[in-house]
Each structure stands twice: as C-alpha cells, then as structure tokens.
Amino acid sequence: MKHITLLYPEGQCNLSTIACIVGTVEIFSRAEALWQQRGNKKKYRLEIACIVPHKKCVSHFVALTPDICINNIAKTDLIIIPSAMPGEDTADSREMFDWIHSQYKAGAEIASMCSGAFILASTGIMDGRSCSTHWSFEDRFRSLFPKVNLHSGKLITDENGIYTNGGAYSFLNLVIYLIEKYYDRQTAILCSKIFQIELERNSQSAFAIFTGQKQHNDEIVQQAQTYIENNIEEKISIENLSSRFSVGRRNFDRRFIKATGNTPVEYAQRVKIESAKKALESTRKTINEVMYAVGYSDVKAFREVFKKITGLSPLEYKNKYNREASVLQ
C-alpha cells in the first residue's frame, strides 16, 4: 500500500487551503472505496501532515487537526500542496521546503494546487520546469521565481512527477487527474460523475482577466502601455509606437518584455482581446462589430488571436458568457 501526504502548511493557510484539503480527502476517499468495491486491495493511505503537531484554526469558524507531523513521515509516494500563499520565511517554512525537496529526491511525486505553486517553487525544485498557478498571481510569481517556466493559461502541468494546476476550485480537476494516474481511468470517470467535475478540462485562459504588469519603473514602457490601452480601436504599429517615444525598435522590444513579460505585440493583442471579451459578455454587438471596435479588420486573424488567448472562439465565448446571446440562439 502506498502513501499520500496532503500538506497543511501552517502560517500560510486561508479558507481556500481548507477547501482544497476537504475536497481532496473526500474525492480520494471515494476513489479508494470504488477501487475496493471492484475487488481490489487497498491501494493508498492518505494523511494530512503538518509541520507542528497541534490544531490550527484558519478562521473563527473553521479548524483542522492534521493526522501526522512531517518529521514522522520517513517516505511518501505523493505530496499534495493545497492552495496557500507563502508567508514569512520562518524556520518552520524552511523545514517544510527541505522536507518536500528531500522527499522528491527520494522518489516522491508532488502536486500543487493553485497558489500552492509558490510553496513548491520555494523549494527550488521547479527551476527550469513547467508550472501553472492562478492567473491573478502570474506577475507576482514571475517576479519571485524567474527561473520557473510559468504557463498561466494551462489548467494542469505534468512534468517529471510534478503536477501543478491553475486557480481556485480548479483543484478538483487536478484531483480527478491524479485519481486516473494513481488508480485508473474507470475510477476517475466514476468520481467525475459522482462529484460532477468535468473531465479533461485543459485551460484556464477563458477565466483570466488581463490587467497588464504595471509594477515596474520603466516610464517609457508605462507610457506605451497607456497609449495601447487608450487606443484599442487602432491597428497599432509597433514601429510607430517605438518611434513615438524615440526608442529604437529592438531596444523598445527588449525593455517592454523586461518590464511586462510580454512583447509589445502580445501586450496589444491581450489588451484588445480583453476589451473584446467584455463586449461579448455584456452587449448585443455582433462578432464583426466587436472585432472592428478593437482594431481588427480580418475575421480570421481576430478569431485566431482570440482563441489563442482564451482557448475559445469569439462565438463560443459569447455563447458561454452572454446570457442574452444564449437565449436568442
């Protein structure tokens, strides 16, 4: 029988942490029960592990008592890190990072949920590897962990025994993914039906709200960002934009990428598509009207960029998020 460790990272928890823990325990418990009902032997034992062995209250109405202290776990097969933002770098947190790192070196696999990716990245294991987290933490994550290959649009990454997932309650999709890995496809399908969790969802891009990285000190880039955002209807030439600020194109691109994490072209596309998304969500405008309003004249190009950024076509997005549009279908 193999062992799963579900971490309870003291000092870094909130209600999302508890939601991840409770949901994971419930679904894995059902998976184990379904597995044994088919005549199989018990496959996994799951324990909630903490750093300090005592009850911790997350808020005035929620408390959780872990099963075991990490110091008492000599070997585990899978470590699950729930949603949790890193707090101060204390002796306890460093002990947790070291324990995760040593277990991974000993052969354990690791899965992080939502902002639990910050804890995983703090171990140093993720340098040079693919990772996902909640789209709203993208800028902060990139600034803290520049060596990690962040894919903020992906719902789940799977690389060399490390699994990460996107934001909030999408941790449920990761749990189903892990159940298929650790049990089998049949058990995963049954769990997805029982708990009504969509199978094989692979993107969180449609949920993202693009605001642009503004926490930098490059005044020229900030002015360029403002120009792009205030002139959505224009078909912006990056050559003209760089010359407007008396900066060479190559230097302008380099500065823009360093400051925002996007090329000027990517930034303009994301600003335009964010405006298009809002129009599709809340107005009766046709796809073509929205397209022209954000500076596109080629339907194919607009559709390709829109789908690249959101994972959906403009029509699919409108039908999904505009109630009036879906009623009129």
CB count in 10 Å sphere of residue 80: 27
pTM across the whole model = 0.74
What pLDDT is stored for residue 42 in this prediction?
A: 96
In 36-84, DSSP assigns E strands to 44-50, 56-59, 62-64, 68-69, 78-81
Return the structure tokens found at 189. 């399908």
| Rg of the chain in Å (alpha carbons) | 23
> In angstroms, how far is the first alpha carbon of the chain from the final one?
53
> What is residue 329's predicted lDDT score, i.e. its pLDDT?
47
- The tens place of each residue's pLDDT in the chain, 329 residues long, gives 899 999 998 888 888 999 999 999 999 999 999 999 999 999 999 999 998 776 666 666 787 889 999 999 999 999 999 999 776 677 788 999 999 999 999 999 999 999 999 999 999 999 999 999 998 898 889 889 999 999 888 899 999 999 999 988 999 999 999 999 999 999 999 999 999 998 877 777 777 778 888 888 899 999 999 999 999 999 989 999 999 999 999 999 999 999 988 899 999 999 999 999 999 998 999 999 999 999 999 999 999 999 999 989 999 999 988 877 544 44
Token couple for 139: 């800028």
Residues 6+ apart with CB under 8 A from 98: 123
pLDDT for res 88 = 66
Amino acid at 197: I
The domain limits of the chain are 2-205, 219-328
The listed CATH number (1.20.58.110, 1.10.10.60, 3.10.105.10, 3.40.1080.10) that belongs to domain 219-328: 1.10.10.60
Distances (CA, A) of 189 to 200, 216, 220, 270: 10, 46, 52, 35
Orientation of helix 15-37 relative to helix 185-195, angle to 10°:
130
User: Which pair of tokens denotes residue 160?
Assistant: 């060399």
- 2-205 placed in CATH 3.30.56.10: no
